[in-house]
Amino acid sequence: MVGSKVQREIRVVSEEELLKERSRLARKAMELMERSGEETSRGKLASELGMSRARVEQIFPEDGDLREAMTGEWFAPKLKVMDEVMASDLPPRRKMYEFFARRFVLMRSNFRTDPATFRLYVEMGERYFEYARSYVDLADHYLCELIAEAQAEGHMKGLEINEALSLINQSVNCYLLPYQIALLDERLSEDKLARIVDALFDGLSGEDRGAKGVSKLQAAN
């Protein structure tokens, strides 16, 4: 009887069905993790849903596949925000602010709604960063497009796009990195972020303006 049930659950599915089932089960795994306060696995997920382990393993052949799908579900709202901003016809300065601010507001809301769960995802992200790398790379790709738009209007002169990318990321990372949002919380604000973006547009360039005009760092007297 058990064997026949497993056979009924394991069936050939189309790629579209597989993607939908991966998404559904990943969200269920996230719900389980949020309730239990600890990382979940394929075995725990099968037990929670009353499914055979074989069926879950058909959808997620490795535990890493489940983690990858959960990462995708966590990033989905952030990707939606980025896509909306990139598709807009806002001027470059405002567009770059929205590109950062909308994700910041979303993550800050997630943190304030449930700090414990937010930190759980932060810890999971630090352990399994390889699953998040493609999303980080996509955000950098979009930011490079925004930099090119800004340079076309005369901003950030004298900088290669990759150099500008690095400088901008270093300037705003506390608004993008979840653990920094959890750490700083109320010390971060949309107004401060807007001032940072204005400063980047008005002052960032490849010129040497004197800050580095010494041969070596000198100790204060």
Q: What is the pLDDT of residue 6?
A: 46
State the pTM of this model.
0.85
Amino acid letter, 62: E
Q: What sign results for the dihedral spanned by CA atoms 78, 20, 126, 162?
A: negative
Mean pLDDT of the chain: 90
CATH topology of domain 69-203: Tetracycline Repressor; domain 2 (1.10.357)
Q: Which residues of 25-38 are buried (b: 16+ CB within 10 A; e: fewer)?
A: bbebbbebbeeeee
pLDDT single digits (tens) 40-91: 999 999 999 999 999 999 999 998 999 999 999 999 999 999 999 999 999 9
**Does residue 25 surpass a pLDDT of 70?**
yes
The CA distance from 165 to 149, in Å, is 13
146, 96 in Cβ contact below 8 A?
Answer: yes
Q: What is the pLDDT of residue 2?
A: 47
Q: What sign results for the dihedral spanned by CA atoms 53, 56, 62, 68?
A: negative
Neighbours of 58 (CB within 10 A): 16
The CA distance from 55 to 145, in Å, is 42
